[in-house]
Every structure is written in C-alpha cells, then in structure tokens.
Amino acid sequence: MNISKDVISVILGGGAGTRLYPLTKLRAKPAVPLAGRYRLIDVPISTSLNSGIERIFVLTQFNSASLNRHIARAYRFDRFSNGFVTMLAAEQTPASKDWFQGTADAVRRSLDHMEGYKHKQVLILSGDQLYSMDYAKMLAHHQETGADITIGTIPVTAEQAPAFGILKTNEDQIITEFSEKPAADELDGKSSPVSAEMEAEDRVYLASMGIYIFDQGLLRDMLDAYPDDHDFGHGIIPRAIDSHRVASYPFSGYWSDIGTIKSFFEANMMLAKDQPDFDLYDPDRPLYTNARMLPPAKVQSSYVQNSLIAEGSIITNSQITSSVVGIRSYIGENTTIKNAVLMGADHYAWQTDQGLGRREGPSQPGIGEESYIEGAIIDKNVSIGKNCVIKNRDDIEEAEGENYMIRDGIVVIPKNTVIPDGTII
C-alpha cells in the first residue's frame, strides 16, 4: 500500500521575504534562483514528487507573478495522472478581506480549496529550505507512533538552539515540551534522546524544521478552534502538544533554512564544493525544474575550480573559483570570479530584440572583460561593464549604494541593474 497517495502537500510561500531583500524585490521567496538553474520552490515540490506525493498546493501572496510562470512551465502532468501543482494566492472572501496573517492563517483560509480532494493527511512544508527527505518514511513514522501530528526535527547544538523552536521528546519520540527560541541559559533540561552519532557531536536539542504532518480532520478542528492563532510555530503547535499526541520525526541529513542573504549565499557555496552536503546528482531523487532546452555551457581557455556552470553560459579566457554561474551567463575575457553567485540571464547577451517576447533588464546582460567579482551575489539580467571591481574591500557588514547593497558582508547587485564601465564597489 502506498501511503503517500493519501496525502496532499501544502507548501507555504512565506511573507514579503524582507531578510532576503533585494533578491525578493521583484519575486516571491520561493521563486529566488538556486544553484544557477533551479528555484527554491523546486526543492519541496521535487521532494514531494520523489516521495510519491503528486497533489501539491503552493500558498503565496507577495510578488507571485514569476513564481506562477515558473510553476506553470515546469510542472505539467499528463492526463493519465491525478497529479497537479496548484497556486493558491491570498484572496478576499466574505469571511476575510485581509492578506494571510501567518502560516496557520494561510492554511486555514485555503482549506476549502483542498478539501475537495480526498486525503487522510496534510503535509505542510516551507518554500525556502534546502534538504532531501523521503516523506514516505516520515508518514510511516507518523502511523507507527500513532501520532495526530508529526513534526520534522533536526538535532542542533546548544550554540545553534537559540535560533530555533526547540522540542523536547521522551524515549518514544513523543513531544512533551516546546520552547520558542530559548536563550542559551534556558536550555537546561530541554535536551532529547538522540542517536549516538548526534550525541557525539553534542547535537542533543531538537529544532523544528517547519515540516508538519496533520491528520486531515484534526487540522480543520484546530484551525477552527483557535481562529486568532495565525502561526503554526507560535500558536497551533504549542497548543497541540498539550492536547494531542505529537511525535518528532528526527532528521540528521543536510538542512538549511534559506531565509537570509547569508544563508542563501552559503547554500550556493556549499553546492559548488567538491563534496557538497546536498547531492544534486542523485539519480533516484532528482531536483525538477523548468526544462529550458538550452545548449551546453561553453568554456574557452579558462580556469574553473569547484564551481557550477549552468547551461547556455559562455566563458572566455577567465578564472572561475568556488562560484555558481547561472543560465545564459556571459563572462568576458580576462575576468575573475571568486566566491560569487551569478544568477544568469533570461536572454543571451548578443540576442537582439527581434524574435524576443517578454524581456526584462538591460539588452546585454553579463560580465564585461577585465572585471573582478568576489564575495558577491549578482542577480538575474545584470549588466556589469568592463574593468569593474565588485568586492567588499572594507569588510562592511551592511550598506546601501546607488546600484548595490551589502548584506551580511555580501555585495548584492539587484536584478536588472546596469553597472557602468570602470565601477569600483
């Protein structure tokens, strides 16, 4: 019996994404590009599909146009499948005229759209995380423990714990306590039984991953019973621990909550490593995305080390080190790219207006010759001129310029920006 067939996935698109700004200036958080060719939303959708869950709802409200386009192009199911990926945006109804007020409120106001599909459990996911999990195993754990609700948890150290909601469990992996971002001096007595491997690494505190399984009827009952609880982590989950059987599903693999510029940058740098913690090359658990039918990348007389080069890119006589180079990137001669994320472009640098449909940004996106880029994120459709230097030379943590920002010490060039020849940042 395939228990995944009794489940629907609900992916939360999140709020305005202010901590990821300016990457979220023109797009929703889940639409932010990842690893040069994917989008963040591809992770939970692909993980659901790889786990046998083919009925997926994506809840969003901010800057959702590019997310809509991506999902419409990438996830098309044939007529012989019952699968779908459907967008549910915030809408005014007789019951509510406001936007989504939080994670629980988003699900509460979308339930009527979901309940037309027969299911026994609802799997609630975040749209801005990077990890690989078999949800079928989590569902089996949910049934084996006799849980009403199961929460995905990851063991963390005492140093990491204050950044998370910490769950305490008993020997049967049933959650007995919840603490929202406890201070370091409040951690005494909040550790949980973990594997010997995790204990050896001092990872004895269970952090909530923001991944939940609810039995279908219970989800409706709790959301209706507490209409003023707008978030799962702050309201619904703590109440449920006191009144229902809530289990922990421990996960020890790679997991990153990509909610800030720093975490986004570090996740991309990890993917470019020689031995990354997340495997993009697993044939049994592929990461799906829009099939663009682009030609292979062309690298001429260049030095490339520990980097990802996406399709459609052209690199000539340049040095690329520990970087991600996105689709249709053009890098001019004698250019150096180090520890940088280039998101690429929506059209080729040499492509004329003739034959193009919708176009954003400058007519010739790419990196001009003799330029130097280090420790930076170059968003899509950016045109950087010749002899430019993009580097945080003074180790500034936060700053804003005319055509750039510095966040967490990382220089960010916003989407569609033009950087003139000879610019030094």
Helix, strand, or coil here: 105? helix
Mean pLDDT of the chain: 91
Contact status, residue 326 vs residue 342, Cβ threshold 8 Å:
yes
pLDDT of amino acid 180: 87
pLDDT of amino acid 231: 84
pLDDT at 213 over 70: yes
What percentage of residues in the chain have a pLDDT greater than 90?
76
CATH architecture assigned to 298-419 = 3 Solenoid (2.160)
Report domain 3-271's class: alpha beta
User: What's the rounded Cα separation, in Å, for the pair 123 and 142?
Assistant: 11
Secondary structure element (H or E) that encloses residue 405, with its range:
strand 405-407
Q: What is residue 99's DSSP assignment?
A: P
DSSP result, 270-285: HHTSSS-SS-TT-TTS
pLDDT of amino acid 114: 86
pLDDT of amino acid 205: 96
pLDDT at 88 over 90: no
Q: How confident is the model at residue 106 (pLDDT cuts 50, 70, 90)?
A: confident
pLDDT at 123 over 90: yes
pLDDT at 167 over 80: yes
Q: How confident is the model at residue 97 (pLDDT cuts 50, 70, 90)?
A: low
Q: Per-residue pLDDT averaged across 135-151, rounded?
A: 96
- Over residues 318-337, the pLDDT tens digits come to 999 999 999 999 999 999 99
pLDDT of amino acid 322: 98
User: What's the rounded Cα separation, in Å, for the pair 384 and 422?
Assistant: 9
- Over residues 384-405, the pLDDT tens digits come to 999 999 999 999 999 999 999 9
Of 27-41, 160-174, 230-244, 394-408, the least confident: 230-244
Beta bridge partners of 152: 249
pLDDT at 281 over 80: yes
- CATH 2.160.10.10 occupies which residues in the chain? 298-419
Q: Per-residue pLDDT averaged across 286-315, rounded?
A: 97
- Over residues 190-202, the pLDDT tens digits come to 999 999 999 999 9
pLDDT at 355 over 70: no
pLDDT of amino acid 295: 97
User: What's the rounded Cα separation, in Å, for the pair 173 and 151?
Assistant: 10
User: What's the rounded Cα separation, in Å, for the pair 54 and 332?
Assistant: 43
pLDDT of amino acid 211: 96
Look at 191 and 90; give whichever has higher pLDDT: 191
Q: How confident is the model at residue 65 (pLDDT cuts 50, 70, 90)?
A: confident
Structure-derived torsion over alpha carbons of residues 219, 224, 225, 227, reported in degrees to the nearest 10: 120
And the tokens for 155? Answer: 């063991």
User: What's the rounded Cα separation, in Å, for the pair 302 and 320?
Assistant: 8
Long-range contacts of 79-82 (CB under 8 A, 24+ apart): 81/54, 82/54, 82/55
pLDDT at 94 over 80: no
Look at 321 and 181; give whichever has higher pLDDT: 321
pLDDT of amino acid 241: 92
pLDDT at 185 over 80: yes
Of 112-116, 238-242, 326-330, the least confident: 112-116
Q: Per-residue pLDDT averaged across 202-219, rounded?
A: 94
Which sign, positive or negative, has the C-alpha torsion 185, 202, 278, 125?
A: negative
- CATH 3.90.550.10 occupies which residues in the chain? 3-271
Interacting residues of 1 by C-beta distance below 8 A, sequence separation 6+: none
